Structure 1
Amino acid sequence: MPTTPSLPDCSIVELRQYTLHPGQREVLIDLFDREFLETQEREGMRVIGQFRDLDRPDLFVWLRGFAGMAARKQALEAFYGGPVWAAHRDAANATMVDSDNVLLLQPAWPGAADGLPVDRAAPGASGAAPGLLDATVFHLREPATPALLDYCRERMGPTLRAGGARHTAWYASDASPNTFPRLPVREGEHVLLGLALFDGTNALDAFAQSGAWQREVAQGLAPWLSRAPEAHRLQPTARSALHA
């Protein structure tokens, strides 16, 4: 039987953003939290967290990890070729306008994501788990350089933590060919994904209003960016393993 990788063992991570039909996000969340967590993990992947985007009412965002590309192929073949997906795919797909907005990522450096909490509520939980995840996609001119990653470790992460983030994690683009083309990924893009877990919206708002990011990070970061960052305020679902 496949082994579910721990978060530190997830050398490949997908950031998946699903655009849904109006009014269908709660339908998908109920189905996802009930049917698609333990069943995916039994096939050898890790569902890191799933979220409501507070600023985009028809967006469902989730993170999924694998021990490597070979393990990813095997796990996806098993799950999407198995009975659970067959039983529920029509209901899931009916909620979606687009499910192809997917970034294939790797930890930006060894240990860059090891500290994230992964504590999932039992089946049947409803509502929202505590905390708010600030997930920002930084679009880069080129693959993340050692100088950028040093800046991330020495300036970006410490600024977030000093501003109230309980945990931070960093992922960079992985250029491996997609060996499961049934599920497309965005290719040829260079990004850095920053995750910062705050206690809630008030804590994130206080950090934003402090101006610390603009004063201490933004100007130094700008030369690496190809366009404006893409920011998401993500509320964990009731059974998201990643929450405050």
Structure 2
Amino acid sequence: MLLLRPASPLGGFPAPSGTRPSPGDAAPPPPSLLLATIWYGHGPFDATFVEFFQRRVRPVLAETGGEPLAYLRSEHAPNTFPALPVRTNEEVFVWFARFTDEGHLDHHLNRLQQSERWREEVLPTLSERWARAPQRLRLAPTERSLLR
């Protein structure tokens, strides 16, 4: 598990705008998905990197259909809930995007891979910071999730 905090004042998840379905509600699981992209760094993702993300990375993600919902970075505070072990020696930057379904998510990833701006303006800078290749996790919101 990673302990994360918003990377900027605007980087956290948006405040809930609706009501959560009641427990036991028989609503089917939502078809939407969240994509969590985890970048592992050689060192901390500082304010300079956050600015780079906001000015260079985020616009390309939005152009390709993957507007970040939230973006976070490693938090180096004590783990106050030891039942869940936290990986403490990793520097990460994580962004989350919401997609209506698998097809929308796959379309975004294909457009991102084909984006000239992504390949020429973003990836070279990102790859200099990577300690290893980024990890992508496809997450399905639960029936009661406010991130549906």
TM range (shorter): 0.7 to 0.9
Aligned CA RMSD, in angstroms, stands at 2.0
Partner of 1:63: none
Partner of 1:223: 128
Identity of aligned residues (%): 36
Please state if 1:147 is matched with 2:52. no
- C-alpha distance in 2 between matches for 1:197 and 1:238: 15
Give the deviation of 1:148 after TM superposition.
1.2
Is residue 44–residue 92 contact of structure 2 (8 Å, CA) maintained in 1?
yes
Give the deviation of 1:130 after TM superposition.
3.8
Query: Which structure's relative contact order is higher, taking Cα pairs within 8 Å and 6+ residues apart?
Result: 2
Number of matched pairs: 142
- C-alpha distance in 1 between matches for 2:14 and 2:81: 29
Give the deviation of 1:227 after TM superposition.
0.3
Please state if 1:185 is matched with 2:86. yes
Which residue, out of 76, 99, 123, partners 1:175?
76
Give the deviation of 1:116 after TM superposition.
6.3
- Secondary structure of 1:143 counterpart: coil
Please state if 1:103 is matched with 2:8. no
Which residue, out of 97, 119, 131, partners 2:32?
131
Q: TM-score w.r.t. structure 1 length? A: 0.53
Task: Report Cα offsets for 1:72-99 as digits up to 9, x if no partner.
Answer: xxxxxxxxxxxxxxxxxxxxxxxxxxxx
- Secondary structure of 1:121 counterpart: coil
Which residue, out of 106, 109, 113, partners 1:205?
106
- Secondary structure of 2:50 counterpart: helix
Is residue 166–residue 198 contact of structure 1 (8 Å, CA) maintained in 2?
no
Structure 2: which amino acid aligns with 1:169?
A: A
Partner of 1:59: none
Structure 2: which amino acid aligns with 1:153?
A: Q
Give the deviation of 1:154 after TM superposition.
0.9
Give the deviation of 1:217 after TM superposition.
2.4
Which structure's CA Rg is the greater one? 1
- Secondary structure of 2:42 counterpart: coil
- C-alpha distance in 2 between matches for 1:116 and 1:156: 23
Which residue, out of 146, 157, 162, partners 2:58?
157
Is residue 137–residue 192 contact of structure 1 (8 Å, CA) maintained in 2?
yes
- Secondary structure of 1:229 counterpart: strand
Structure 2: runs of 5+ lacking an equivalent? none
- C-alpha distance in 2 between matches for 1:236 and 1:182: 23
